[in-house]
Structure 1
Amino acid sequence: MSRIVVVKCGGSILDNLTDSFFGNMAKMLENDVFPIVVHGGGPAIQEMLDKLDVTCAFTDGLRTTSAAAMDVVEMVLTGNVNNELTRRFNQAGMQAAGFSGADARLIQAVPKNFQRYGYVGDVTDVNAAFLLAMLGRGIVPVIAPVAVGRDGSRYNVNADTAAGAIARATNAERLIFVTDVPGVMQGEKLLSNISETDMEQLIAEGVIQGGMIPKIKAAVGSLGEGLSDVMIADANQRISASGFTGTTVTK
């Protein structure tokens, strides 16, 4: 497989993906760049938890997941959100297939700390061979980050974490967090490259603020062996043959 790009779509951006985004994905395929899409679904999950009156608190920024909450997480992510996103890829002329991390043991996990977080998982393995086989058939995998344990238990995995693990396992050329802004802005200027050290300084100076702080921290947290940089980019920009334009984050 020549060039693989993992594209992570946060739950908050899913309803705002325009035809430009799906056109961008098609253009990547035309240029022999093969996308793997990982999505979240936080707002939709919270809406359903509220509707069903299932209590679910946040601890250390993670959704504490009881067995009842896990049922809702799986239902929303692998049902409503994954199916809708997969349909839109297919409507745009691509061949996409939706998967849960439990399919083909695509994402395997262990509990992060069951006493503290419940069914929240840390990724231990990714079935990269399965994903590469799908890409080799021209299929765009659209993945909901519900993982499976050795005993068959389901785990709620942070979508940023899942995307980083998949990018490393498939030797992806790049991991892109698509969002609703061009990247990190300093006034009117787009910062094309920032390091982890730059990030801390820009946060302290108030240049990076609000919802961009968790995005940047998630990007840095995804870096590691086999993945040297992550991009934050506007999902709905019109890309050129060279790909997305945004802020590249490095260690």
Structure 2
Amino acid sequence: MIQIENIKKRFDRLQVLDGVSLTINRPGIFAILGPNGSGKTTLLKSILGMVLPQSGNIQLNGESTLKEWKYRNQIGYLPQIARFPDNLSVREVIEMIKTIRSQPANEQPLIERFSLQDFLDKKLGNLSGGTRQKVNIVLTFMFDCELYILDEPTAGLDPVALIQLKDLIGAEKEKGKTFMITTHIMNLVEELSDEIVFLLDGKIYFKGSLEELKQKTGQQDLEHAIAQILQ
């Protein structure tokens, strides 16, 4: 599905991605991990076309994504910080995104799943951070996509909403969908991920299962395995 070949990206003197190559050719949940500044978000934004690499190539289903845009209709994206005008209501922003994407949307079950019925006519600027994140989740999942890119999706969520999000991800995975997720919540990675991709200094240090990472580092859990890498 995704073929990333020797991607390099520099911001001024900072080499953020330094020859990253990655292949994801099956459905599942892929956790993109690494310390701050390791290039995780830049990698995801390169796939989305929001960042243009200086060299290398990215293919989605065999077609290059560089200087293209239609392929984005196959992707659901939940950014780490989603910014919409504060004076829009929840209902208005949902309708706006539906108009922009011009794709069939199914938002009502998600509105009910995350208990947003009473917030539809409230302005975004008057919502708590957690409620805004629930709205962002609805905007991401109301379209039927084959790939979902989630950048710190649990930010601000209460325990009930977190359970609902994990159940939603699991249900979509069962339908054959692919996820690329960045998160600092290690128990979420241990619970959901099929493979871990660990970025370090702009390169892929490790790609494989949680058990393989434990064996590589000689640690019993993910948190200590990552600490071992960073020492």
TM-score where L is the length of structure 2: 0.31
Query: Which structure ranks higher in relative contact order (CA pairs < 8 Å, sequence separation ≥ 6)?
Result: 2
TM-score where L is the length of structure 1: 0.30
